Amino acid sequence: MKFVFATHNDHKLKEVQQLLPKSIELLSLSDIGCVDEIPEIGETLEENARIKADFVSKTYGFDCFSDDTGLLVDALNGNPGVYSARYAGEQKNAEDNMAKLLSELEGVNDRKAHFKTVICLNVAGASHFFEGRVDGQITTRKFGKEGFGYDPIFMPDGHHKTFGELPGEIKNAMSHRGRAIQKLVEFLKNKLT
């Protein structure tokens, strides 16, 4: 099976490739010649995932999937949420995003948060959605250099290390994206083989 994963994010592409079985060939947007930055104008993670998947399917004709992920912080009423990647501005800089979030949580005791990933799979003319979630806490400063995005300031429940400190294989086994990908893989095994 061959699918396009609608992303320009090399970190995300590598992470997803590690989660998929070898029987699935994964192409990136670059692999199909797509240099467009697909606008994420939806008001929910589901809408953004669908926008990206529909763009690839309609423009390039490939079966594909896309995801949108948000970090939802309880004390900030679910923010940054759908704006996680561009929380500190359109430059989408992870360091700036973390700095802004840590600043907003300075002196706040309730640091509960969760990551949520929604995947939209477009295959055989139909769309299917898969969701993954992991709960945790926002730390008071950065720890570790693994992963990407908010990983150095997110400590998953049941662990004493952030996603930025955990090895990729451990993070992937419990992460929001990992859980959503597992549901996608199960669907493909059950429905398409």
Q: How many CA atoms, within 13 angstroms, populate the side-chain half-sphere of residue 64? A: 25
Query: What are the backbone dihedrals phi and psi of residue 74, each rounded to the nearest 5 degrees, phi first?
Result: -55, -50
Do residues 150 and 141 touch, judged by C-beta distance below 8 A?
no
Nearest-angstrom CA–CA distance, 38 and 134: 26
The residues that are catalytic are: 68
The DSSP result for 50-111, as a single string, is: HHHHHHHHHHH---EEEEEEEEEEGGGTT-EETTGGGTT-TT--HHHHHHHHHHHTTT-S--
**Which residues, 6+ apart, have CB-to-CB distance to 111 below 8 Å?**
73, 75, 105, 137, 138, 139, 140
Do residues 54 and 26 touch, judged by C-beta distance below 8 A?
no
Nearest-angstrom CA–CA distance, 140 and 72: 16
Largest CA distance in the chain: 53
